[in-house]
Structure 1
Amino acid sequence: MKIERIHHVAYRCKDAKTTVEWYEKHLGMKFVLAIAEDQVPSTKAPDPYMHLFMDAGGGNILAFFELPNSPAMGRDSNTPEWVQHIALKVGSVAELEEAKARLQAAGIEVIGVTDHTIFKSIYFFDPNGHRLELAADVGTPEMYAKLDACKREMLEEWSLTKRAPKHAAWMHDKEFQA
């Protein structure tokens, strides 16, 4: 078996209509599908839901469930809010900066532009409390090759020590040597 791509990634939302309108307005995503049931098909649980699907580009779908009979949404209190996020790719740093300006003009708090050496990004939250990232790639083929060459060694070192390996410290030092 070979995975072809992500079919969809699903998250919970507080309100289906608000979520669709927010993603259309602020991220230009197209609303492509809605499914509503009174019973969960996989478990047969009697739990009505609205399942909506947004086009995230390139065949990627970002989906949401509104669950009116479930307790209010919460977060994993043991995981920092910066960890779990949805990162979406944009075509250029100019697009990233334009998106930041539009979001801020709409009253949405934005962190960044953050320089990650191989990409630049901004961070903000949707109306459901999900952290989003917009990212524009800026790395060179040499940078990606250097990262590819050390990924297994870094993973092994992390696995043994649980301390950050320094193989890619050049990314933060901003000193790349091919």
Structure 2
Amino acid sequence: MNIRKIHHVAYRCKDAKETVEWYGKHLGMKFVLAIAENHVPSTHEPDPYMHVFLDAGNGNVLAFFEIPKSPPMGRDTNTPAWVQHIAFEVGSVQELEDAKARLQADGIPVVGVTDHTIFKSIYFHDPNGHRVELAANTGTPEMYKRLDEVKVAMLEEWSRTKRAPKHAAWMHEKEFA
């Protein structure tokens, strides 16, 4: 098998129209497709839904399901809120800072700019409560090479100890010094 790309990533939303409008306004994503059924095609369950698809750039598609007959949306309370998120790449740190200013001007709370050494990012929530990250790459070829050289050793050490390996601690040392 040869995976070519992610066809789409789907999340649940509270209101399909509001979600499409929010992603269009705040992230410039175009609404590209809607599918609605009264029965789930894969399971044949009677469960009406609206499935909307947004262009996330470069062939990437972000999709949402509004499923009004299901219980209200929640989240896994055993997983910290910062863990589950979707990150979108922007072209520069300036674009990132401009996006932060626009989001804040529209009353959307933003965390960051956070410096991850190989990229900088901001975090905020969409109207459904999903955490969204915008990231601008800042790494050098040497940084990526260093990280590539230690990835297997880091994973092996983590697997044995469940403690953060120090192979790439240089990325955030300045924050914890």
Tell me, yes or no, whether TM beats 0.5: yes
Q: List aligned pairs for 1:133-152, cutoff 5 A.
A: 133-152=133-152
Deviation of 1:20 after TM superposition, in Å, equals 0.4
Q: List aligned pairs for 1:97-176, cutoff 5 A.
A: 97-173=97-173
Q: 3-state DSSP class of the match of 1:38?
A: strand
Partner of 1:17: 17
TM-score (structure 2 length as normaliser) = 0.98
Aligned mates of 1:170, 1:95 — CA distance in 2 = 26
Q: 3-state DSSP class of the match of 2:172?
A: helix
Which residue identity does 1:75 align to in structure 2?
Answer: R
Alignment deviations for residues 24-47 of structure 1 (CA, whole Å, 9 cap, x no partner)? 000000000000000000000000
Partner of 2:8: 8
Deviation of 1:3 after TM superposition, in Å, equals 0.7
Which residue identity does 1:25 align to in structure 2?
Answer: K
Aligned mates of 1:86, 1:170 — CA distance in 2 = 25
Structure 1 ranges of 4+ moved more than 3 A: none
Aligned mates of 1:13, 1:74 — CA distance in 2 = 11
Aligned mates of 1:42, 1:157 — CA distance in 2 = 40
Aligned mates of 1:119, 1:99 — CA distance in 2 = 15
Aligned mates of 2:115, 2:169 — CA distance in 1 = 14
Alignment deviations for residues 68-102 of structure 1 (CA, whole Å, 9 cap, x no partner)? 10000000000000000000000000000000000
Give me the CA root mean square deviation: 0.5
Aligned-residue identity in percent = 79
Which residue identity does 1:165 align to in structure 2?
Answer: P
Alignment deviations for residues 7-64 of structure 1 (CA, whole Å, 9 cap, x no partner)? 0000000000000000000000000000000000000000000000000001000000
Work out the number of aligned pairs and report it.
174
Aligned mates of 2:65, 2:172 — CA distance in 1 = 38
Partner of 2:50: 50
Partner of 2:28: 28
Uncovered stretches (5+) of structure 1, i.e. residues with no partner: none
Alignment deviations for residues 106-165 of structure 1 (CA, whole Å, 9 cap, x no partner)? 000000000000000000000000000000000000000000000000000000000000
Matched, 1:69 2:106: no
Q: 3-state DSSP class of the match of 1:152?
A: helix
Deviation of 1:172 after TM superposition, in Å, equals 1.2
TM-score (structure 1 length as normaliser) = 0.97
Aligned mates of 1:8, 1:20 — CA distance in 2 = 15
Uncovered stretches (5+) of structure 2, i.e. residues with no partner: none
Deviation of 1:173 after TM superposition, in Å, equals 2.2
